[in-house]
């Protein structure tokens, strides 16, 4: 497998599961625009057709017979800095666009007719059936992106990798907030294992939709094993309540878990001095576990380490508290 660019370690702020929305497009005759922000890379079913033509798991416009190009506007999950893109033409082989460009804007609503669009990815060639990666060095804040394809064709998925930037001036120090929510800017920055599903799922909004929508490690045969994940909180804060949700994990939930924390000005978790927030506590299958009296650390923290024993899957982690 080819190594992906470093910017793909950031959050996909154009993900449907995070709350991003496809607002409008110039044309989606063959395949609907909403597919662009769905998870995965899209699938192919050889003999599946619709009344409009071949069914494709992506956004596909009709063949253009005049001048112009097609476009699609996506509202990001939250205001973000963008570090790069994946314009994925998976399964689009004889019908992919030869070129694309991407523009962005920052508006307080969806009135994009009056928006000022800034090109942040210049017109670039696309390869068929491929992940096409493009970096972005613009460090401004954006709320919407517009994918332009020249002149027409199909794109399976668009991923926009970036950092959510919450306006903390709007949050009072008396407000309770989920310091581990991706929508607030929290990020999983490392773990020892995510064989079955990605560590970022822990921080997603809402309940997990299935067993794949969580963080799950492989079965470990080492006695007294511990699996772990490190999370950078959205903001320095104090934790008042912990929710560990094993929803959908019935025969593969961890036996127990513990939580540690530290206060650090960087993400080098190999050098962090960890303090116990919650000692090892029993877990059960397919349920929310709420802890408050078990919290031992009452000082400002920036990072947490969730430990599970000996292995298994957790759907969501919520760390409710106040910013400092």
Span 223-231, average pLDDT: 97
pLDDT of residue 112: 82
Final residue belonging to a domain, choices 164, 190, 218: 164
Do residues 136 and 200 both lie within one domain?
A: no
pLDDT of residue 128: 98
pLDDT category at 134 given cuts 50, 70, 90 is: very high
Is the residue at 293 inside a domain? yes
- Answer yes or no: are the C-beta atoms of 78 and 141 closer than 8 Å: no
Structure tokens at 182: 């991706």
The domain of 287 spans 172-323
pLDDT category at 2 given cuts 50, 70, 90 is: low
Do residues 225 and 283 both lie within one domain?
A: yes
Do residues 150 and 180 both lie within one domain?
A: no
pLDDT of residue 168: 94
Query: Does residue 1 surpass a pLDDT of 70?
Result: no
Final residue belonging to a domain, choices 164, 192, 209: 164
**Residue partners of 287: CB distance under 8 A and separation at least 6:** 245, 246, 247
pLDDT category at 31 given cuts 50, 70, 90 is: very high
Span 7-14, average pLDDT: 97
Tell me how many domains the chain contains.
2
Classify strands 227-245 and 187-191 as parallel, antiparallel or unpaired.
antiparallel
pLDDT of residue 262: 98
Final residue belonging to a domain, choices 135, 164, 193: 164
CATH code, domain with 314: 2.60.120.260
pTM over 0.85: yes
Is the residue at 220 inside a domain? yes
Query: Does residue 190 surpass a pLDDT of 60?
Result: yes
Do residues 303 and 219 both lie within one domain?
A: yes
């Amino acid at each position: 497998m080819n190594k992906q660019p470093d910017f793909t370690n950031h959050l996909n702020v154009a993900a449907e599961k995070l709350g991003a929305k496809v607002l409008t497009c110039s044309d989606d005759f063959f395949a609907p625009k909403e597919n662009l922000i769905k998870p995965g890379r899209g699938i192919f079913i050889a003999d599946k057709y619709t009344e409009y033509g071949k069914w494709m798991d992506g956004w596909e416009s009709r063949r253009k017979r005049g001048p112009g190009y097609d476009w699609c506007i996506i509202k990001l999950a939250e205001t973000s800095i963008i570090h790069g893109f994946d314009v994925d033409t998976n399964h689009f082989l004889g019908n992919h666009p030869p070129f694309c460009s991407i523009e962005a804007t920052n508006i307080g609503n969806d009135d994009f007719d009056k928006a000022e669009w800034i090109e942040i990815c210049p017109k670039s060639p696309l390869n068929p059936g491929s992940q096409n990666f493009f970096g972005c060095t613009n460090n401004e804040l954006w709320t919407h992106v517009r994918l332009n394809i020249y002149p027409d064709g199909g794109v399976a998925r668009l991923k926009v990798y970036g950092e959510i930037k919450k306006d903390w001036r709007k949050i009072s120090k008396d407000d309770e907030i989920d310091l581990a929510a991706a929508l607030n800017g929290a990020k999983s920055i490392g773990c020892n294992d995510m064989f079955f599903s990605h560590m970022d799922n822990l921080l997603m909004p809402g309940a997990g939709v299935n067993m794949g929508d969580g963080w799950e490690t492989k079965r470990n045969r080492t006695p007294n094993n511990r699996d772990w994940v490190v999370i950078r909180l959205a903001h320095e804060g104090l934790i008042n309540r912990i929710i560990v949700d094993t929803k959908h994990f019935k025969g593969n939930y961890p036996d127990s878990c513990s939580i540690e924390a530290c206060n650090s000005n960087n993400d080098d978790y190999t050098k962090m001095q960890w303090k116990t927030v919650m000692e090892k506590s029993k877990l059960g299958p397919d349920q929310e576990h709420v802890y408050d009296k078990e919290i031992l650390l009452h000082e400002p923290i920036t990072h947490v380490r969730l430990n599970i024993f000996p292995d298994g899957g957790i759907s969501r982690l919520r760390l409710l508290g106040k910013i400092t």
